[in-house]
Amino acid sequence: MPAYEDPVSRFWRKVSKGGSSSGCWIWLGADDGYGYGAFGLSHPRRVTKAHRFSWEMAHGPVPDDQCVLHNCPNGDNPKCVNPAHLFLGTRDDNNKDKVKKGRQSRRELHGLSVLTSSEVEEIRSKYANGGYLQRELASEYGVCRQAVGLIVLGKRWRAI
| Shared domain check, 94 and 76 | yes
Instruction: Give pLDDT tens digits for 17-48.
Output: 987 778 999 999 999 888 899 999 987 788 99
State which residues form the domain around 77.
7-104
Enter the pTM of the model. Answer: 0.64
pLDDT one-digit tens code per residue, 86-133:
999 999 898 888 778 776 544 444 444 578 778 889 999 999 999 899
Residues 89 and 65 in one domain: yes
Measured torsion, CA atoms of residues 149, 153, 158, 160, in degrees rounded to the nearest 10: 80
pLDDT of the residue at 103: 67
Is 90 exceeded by the pLDDT of residue 60?
Answer: yes
Are residues 28 and 88 located together in one domain of the fold?
Answer: yes
Q: What is the pLDDT of residue 87?
A: 96
Say whether both 57 and 24 belong to one domain: yes
How many structural domains is the chain composed of? 2
Residues 100 and 113 grouped into a single domain: no
Residues 26 and 50 in one domain: yes
Question: What pLDDT sits at residue 112?
Answer: 44
What pLDDT is stored for residue 40 in this prediction?
A: 92
Whether 81 and 124 map to the same domain: the answer is no
pLDDT tens sequence across 69-90: 999 998 889 999 999 999 999 9
Same domain, yes or no, for 100 and 63?
Answer: yes
Q: What is the pLDDT of residue 64?
A: 93
d(CA 15, CA 46): 20
Instruction: Let me know if residue 159 belongs to a domain.
Output: no
Residue 75 sits in a domain whose CATH number is 3.90.75
Same domain, 85 and 139: no
Q: What pLDDT does residue 159 have?
A: 65
